[in-house]
């Protein structure tokens, strides 16, 4: 019985991203791990829920086993492993392999038509999403050519990101970063005045307020939450509900950010995901140091009786 290969799972996790603390996507659906919602049938994400990296992988594998792999096997029959892996990624994202027109072209040995049909699946909320276009191209290469994206190689060298600015786990142009910065400004978090960069403190404070993992990195959870807050304010101004349109596929559907000008949170950069975990810990540490410095007088007053030397040291700044 054919199952997703380790390489296929690695690709799926890299393109989906793995978020270990539950967050709400732009349409308000609680999500965790590799895009898992309650509709996946393997987990019911809720506010404050945190899982380990090992548990995230276990849940993803369980969802594949229960729903996606059986549907792909039934639809494609016996195919080469790379084709199966790419098809699983498509179905995880869309839940629609059983009705996708590219499948017939693929099974009939027409790769050109199959690729063209695959590239029709690039819309969310009524508009073309760059993240979906890239994903469909990669899936077509995997399915048709056994050509895998070089996501294990970090194209950009982020070995020591500037801790004054937020990190990115998504691929954004300078203009898109400025759009995100403006979104932070709109909801009351000063992103700073440097074009193409966003203040580490603004992002960290935003994450803390909205109960996200405080790592100073703009990733899927942060951008989804930001989008949802923008939509809420936009809806309030119109005197209507602020929830964005769009859909989340049961299991791993990508969040949709329609109609607000904010880059969609589907544009996860697989290369950057390899270093985000390491950089996140360092950035979180810097943020904690900042808080300690910012509230040094308050801390000194609280510890004066027990740690007088430390309190004196803090007051000397």
**Beta bridge partner(s), residue 24:** 30
Of 295 and 169, the one with more pLDDT = 169
Question: Residue 96: which of 118, 114, 129 has the closest Cα?
Answer: 118
pLDDT at 162: 54
Task: Give the DSSP letter string of 215-245.
Answer: SSEE-HHHHHHHHHHHHHHHHHHHTS--PPP
Reported confidence tier of residue 236, pLDDT bands at 50, 70, 90: low
Confidence bin at 266 (pLDDT 50/70/90): low
pTM for this model (two decimals): 0.65
**Mean of the per-residue pLDDT values for the chain?**
79
Reported as a pLDDT band with limits 50, 70 and 90, residue 271 is very low
Distances (CA, A) of 23 to 26, 105, 315: 10, 38, 39
- Reported as a pLDDT band with limits 50, 70 and 90, residue 247 is very low
Given a cut of 70, whether residue 278 has pLDDT beyond it is: no
The pLDDT, as a whole number, for residue 301 is 66
Query: In this model, does residue 289 exceed pLDDT 80?
Result: no
Distance CA 263, CA 126 (A): 15
Check whether 57 has a pLDDT greater than 60: yes
The share of the chain scoring above pLDDT 90, in percent, equals 42
Q: What is the pLDDT of residue 118?
A: 97
Contact (Cβ atoms closer than 8 angstroms) between residue 21 and residue 50: yes
Residue range 6-29, pLDDT digits in tens: 999 988 888 887 889 999 987 788
Most confident of 89-98, 129-138, 258-267, 279-288: 89-98
* Three state DSSP letters for 68-93: HHHHHHHHHCCCCHHHHHHHHHHHHH
Angle between helices 220-238 and 200-209 (to 10 degrees): 70
pLDDT in tens, 61-83: 999 999 999 999 999 999 999 99
């Amino acid at each position: 019985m054919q199952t997703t290969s380790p390489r296929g799972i690695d690709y799926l996790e890299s393109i989906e991203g793995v978020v270990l603390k539950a967050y709400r996507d732009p349409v308000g659906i609680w999500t965790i791990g590799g895009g898992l919602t309650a509709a996946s049938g393997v987990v019911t994400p809720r506010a404050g829920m945190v899982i380990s990296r090992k548990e995230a992988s276990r849940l993803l594998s369980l969802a594949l086993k229960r729903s996606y792999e059986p549907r792909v096997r039934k639809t494609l029959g016996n195919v080469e492993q790379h084709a199966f892996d790419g098809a699983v990624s498509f179905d995880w994202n869309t839940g629609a392999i059983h009705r996708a027109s590219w499948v017939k072209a693929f099974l009939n040995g027409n790769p050109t038509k199959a690729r063209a049909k695959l590239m029709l699946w690039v819309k969310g909320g009524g508009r073309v999403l760059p993240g979906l276009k890239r994903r469909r191209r990669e899936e077509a290469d995997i399915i048709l050519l056994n050509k895998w994206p070089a996501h294990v190689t970090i194209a950009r060298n982020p070995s020591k990101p500037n801790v004054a600015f937020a990190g990115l786990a998504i691929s954004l142009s300078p203009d898109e970063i400025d759009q995100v910065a403006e979104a932070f400004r709109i909801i009351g978090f000063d992103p700073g005045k440097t074009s193409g960069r966003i203040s580490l403190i603004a992002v960290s404070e935003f994450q803390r307020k909205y109960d996200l993992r405080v790592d100073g990195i703009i990733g899927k959870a942060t951008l989804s939450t930001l989008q949802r807050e923008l939509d809420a304010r936009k809806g309030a101004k119109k005197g209507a509900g602020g929830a964005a349109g769009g859909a989340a596929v049961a299991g791993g559907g990508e969040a949709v950010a329609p109609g607000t000008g904010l880059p969609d949170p589907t544009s996860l950069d697989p290369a950057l995901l390899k270093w985000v975990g390491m950089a996140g810990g360092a950035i979180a540490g810097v943020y904690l140091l900042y808080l300690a410095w910012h509230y040094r007088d308050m801390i000194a007053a609280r510890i004066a009786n027990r740690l007088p030397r430390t309190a004196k040291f803090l007051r000397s700044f």
